Chain A
Amino acid sequence: MGIKAKVKNDIATVKLLVKHPMKSGKLGGGKGESKYINHLSVKHGGRVVYDMYPTSAISKNPYIKFAFKGAKKGDMITVNWTDNTGATEKKDIKLK
C-alpha cells in the first residue's frame, strides 16, 4: 500500500494506492470468486477522517484521494482496509 500524506495550513491531503485485485467474480459467466475491499478507513488520532465502503466496482489497485482538517506535520495517520474474504492490511504513516 502506497501512501502520500502532506499537510498545508492544517489541511492534510492523503493519496492512497492499494494493491488489490478488486475482483467482482463476474468474469467467465460469474464462476470466479469475488475478492474486493469492502471497508477502508483512515484514522487521525482517535477520530475517523475517511470512511469508505467500496465494492468490486472500484478499479483494480484502488486509487483514493481525500483531505481532512485539523492536521499538523508529524501527526500519525492509520490506514486500515478489510476485504470481503476477511483479509486486512493496516499501515501507519507520518504526515509530512
Chain B
Amino acid sequence: MTVSVATSPDATRKGFEKSAMPLGIVLLIASVLASLCVGRYEVPVWRALEIILGGLVQPFAEHAEIDERIVLLVRAPRTLFAVLAGAGLAVAGASLQAVFRNPLVSPQVLGVSQGAALGGAFAIVMGIWGLPLILLVSLGAVLALVLVGLLAGIGGRSEMLTIILAGMVVGALGSALVSLVQMFADPQSSLPAIVFWLMGSFSTLTWERLWVGGPGIFVAVAFLYAMRFRLNVLALGETEARTLGSNPDRERWIIFALVALIVGSQVAVSGIVGWVGLVIPHAARLLVGEDNRRLIPTAILFGAAYMVLVDTIARTATAAEIPLGILTAIVGAPVFALLLRQYQLRKAR
C-alpha cells in the first residue's frame, strides 16, 4: 500500500474506495463510544459501557445514580445529536457542491446558515421555541437559498464566482438583519439567548431537544442518501441531465428543501456550526472520488465521526465549554489547506 502511494495515486484511491466505508463505520462507532465514556465527570470506562448497555436494554428505566444520569441524560443526547448534525452538514455540503457543480460551496458560503440564523433570532425575540422555531429557521434557510439561486441563476450556466458572490451578498444581508433583530431584543432575556445560540454549542442538548431537531435531519439525510445517483446526474449539468431523462429543476428544489431542513434543524437546536459542510465532503472526495454514490455515504460517516470528536473535545478539554465554531474552524481550516495542497500535488503528477 505504501508503495502504491508513491507510484500510482489512482491505485491508492482504488484501495480507499473499498476501505473508506468500513473505515468510516469503525471510526463512527469508536468515536460515539469514546464520547459516551469521556467527560469532565469521571465515570470508569467499564461502568460507562455497563450504563450504555443498561440504557439500550431498558431505555425507559429511571436513572437513580448520578453517573447513569451523566452518561444517559447529558452525554447520550448530545452525542447522538452530534452524529446527526455532523452527518447532515456534511451531506448538505456535498449535495450543494454537486448541484452548483462547484466545490467551494457550503451552507455557510451560500448564506444558508445566516438565513437560518435570521429566522431563529426572529423566533427567539418573538418568544417562539420548539417545532415552530425549527420551521422559522428552515424558512430562513430556504429563503436564503432561493435568493442565492435567483441572484446567480442556478440553471447550470451560472459561474462559480457569481454563485459565491451571491452567497456572500445574501449571507451579509442575513447577518445584518440578525444584528438588527439583536438591537431590538430584550437585553435581559432574549439577547443573551440569541448571542449564545449563534455561537454554536451542543451544551444545552437534552432528549427533548434531540426529538425536536433530530428527526428532520435524519429524514433529510436519508432522502439525500437515496438521491445520490440523481446528484451525479445533476452534477453533469443542465443539458446532460435533461438528455438523461431527469427533471433537473424539480430535483434541485427537492435537494434545496432537504438541505434547508438539515441546516434549519441543526441551527435551531445548536446554532451555527461552520466548516463541516466544506471540509468533510472534500476529505471524502479525496478518499473515494467524485462519484456521489460513494461520496455521499462516506461524507455521512466521516461527518458524523468528526462532529462527535470535535464536540467531545469542546466539552472535555477545559472546565469551560469551548464554542464549537472555534474548534471546527481551528481543526477544519488546516485540514482543508492540507487537502487542497495534496489535491494540487496529485493533479500536478
Bound pair (A, B): no
